[in-house]
């Protein structure tokens, strides 16, 4: 019996209306556009407004993904939301999204793997489809990092933005040819958990909930672990660097993105970059970038797309898909 394969059938995204430039941050902090952009490639980010929540942004992105696929909420078996910034401890963001979409069937749950969350969620959804437990799945990354940032810490608050991205996975048919998710690869190492974390949790009222990061150490691990992850996913599929059409990386830092692109020997025009405009939207960054590149025609049917991310935990992983 041939294993089922999941197909990337729909793409969607949402970015809050408000844009915050580096210059605006420089008017409030001891920083500058030159300092931020020179170290990270970031020039602006979107910040959630009063009406924006992890649920509302996720639902908006999900509707776009379903519309792209020509599907309706009744066609969805599973909703998986990758988020580190849920609106509530429970119920899960995913079941709130179910309600927003008008779904009365299927199931949903959240997944927390920080900036690697979308790759993790994609892997879980792919496994559900391959095993036959679901015929389709909405995979969403939705983050409101502006609500966990310490706005007096210029080393972290300038790096992140808010937004949501989604893909709709369906079960491939014989007519799909070679399209679909080829493989996903997940890793974590809790020994490095204190490099990137949030110093508060539900039930700890005497502690703030702010993101903390040892930037240089995270950067060092990102370059080495993401490069190894790239080699891993290609080796698993007996493919070479030259066969990759597009790199859609987690959008954390332009220098990290450039480093992985050099590892692949990919020219810059084959790398999807949104970090300059979106900043780091954590679990939302890859689906947001993927949505943009598919909709503007850069990524086309038949292209081989490599996705990779590293986040707090440390967690990291890669996924390879043919559209």
Residues constituting the chain: 323
Roughly what angle, to the nearest 10 degrees, separates helices 215-236 and 254-264? Answer: 30
Q: Which helix (H) or strand (E) holds 78?
A: strand 78-82
Q: What's the confidence (pLDDT) of residue 231?
A: 93
Structure tokens given for 282: 């954590």
Q: What's the confidence (pLDDT) of residue 203?
A: 54
Structure tokens given for 119: 């790759």
215 or 267, greater pLDDT: 267
Using CA atoms, how far apart are residues 147 and 167, in angstroms rounded to an integer? Answer: 25
Give the chain's domains with CATH numbers.
6-176 (3.40.47.10), 180-322 (3.40.47.10)
Q: Out of 157-171, 197-211, 266-280, which region has the weakest mean confidence (pLDDT)?
A: 197-211
State mean pLDDT over 257-275: 92
Is pTM beyond 0.75 here? yes
Positions marked catalytic: 115, 250, 280
Per-residue pLDDT band for 215 (boundaries 50, 70, 90) equals confident
| pLDDT > 80? residue 206 | no
Q: Out of 84-88, 122-126, 175-179, which region has the weakest mean confidence (pLDDT)?
A: 175-179
Left, alpha or beta for 114 (phi > 0: left; psi -120 to 50: alpha)? left
Q: What's the confidence (pLDDT) of residue 276?
A: 98
Q: Out of 34-48, 79-93, 96-110, 212-226, which region has the weakest mean confidence (pLDDT)?
A: 212-226
Q: What is the mean pLDDT of the chain?
A: 94
């Amino acid at each position: 019996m041939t294993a089922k394969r999941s197909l990337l059938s729909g793409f969607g995204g949402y970015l809050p209306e408000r844009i915050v430039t580096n210059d605006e941050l420089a008017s409030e902090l001891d920083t500058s556009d030159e300092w931020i952009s020179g170290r990270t490639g970031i020039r602006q980010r979107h910040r959630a407004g009063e009406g924006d929540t992890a649920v509302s942004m996720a639902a908006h992105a999900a509707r776009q993904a379903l519309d792209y696929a020509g599907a309706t909420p009744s066609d969805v078996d599973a909703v998986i939301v990758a988020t580190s910034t849920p609106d509530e401890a429970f119920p899960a963001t995913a079941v709130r999204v179910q309600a927003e979409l008008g779904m009365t069937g299927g199931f949903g749950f959240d997944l927390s793997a920080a900036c690697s969350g979308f790759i993790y969620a994609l892997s879980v959804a792919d496994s559900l489809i391959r095993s036959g437990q679901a015929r389709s799945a909405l995979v969403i990354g939705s983050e409101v990092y502006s609500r966990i940032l310490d706005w007096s810490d210029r080393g972290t608050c300038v790096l992140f933005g808010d937004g949501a991205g989604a893909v709709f996975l369906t079960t491939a048919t014989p007519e799909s040819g070679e399209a679909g998710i080829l493989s996903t690869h997940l890793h974590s190492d809790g020994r490095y958990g204190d490099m990137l974390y949030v110093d508060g949790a539900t039930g700890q009222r005497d502690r703030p909930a702010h993101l903390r990061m040892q930037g240089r150490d995270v950067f060092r691990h990102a370059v080495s672990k993401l490069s190894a992850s790239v080699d891993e996913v290609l080796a698993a599929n007996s493919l070479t660097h030259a066969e990759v059409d597009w790199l859609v990386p987690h959008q954390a830092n332009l220098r990290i993105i450039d480093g992985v692109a050099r590892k692949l020997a990919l020219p810059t025009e084959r790398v999807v970059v949104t970090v300059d405009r979106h900043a780091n939207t954590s679990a939302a960054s890859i689906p947001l970038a993927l949505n943009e590149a598919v909709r503007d025609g850069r990524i086309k049917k038949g292209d081989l797309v490599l996705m990779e991310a590293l986040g707090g935990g440390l967690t990291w992983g890669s996924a390879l898909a043919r559209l």
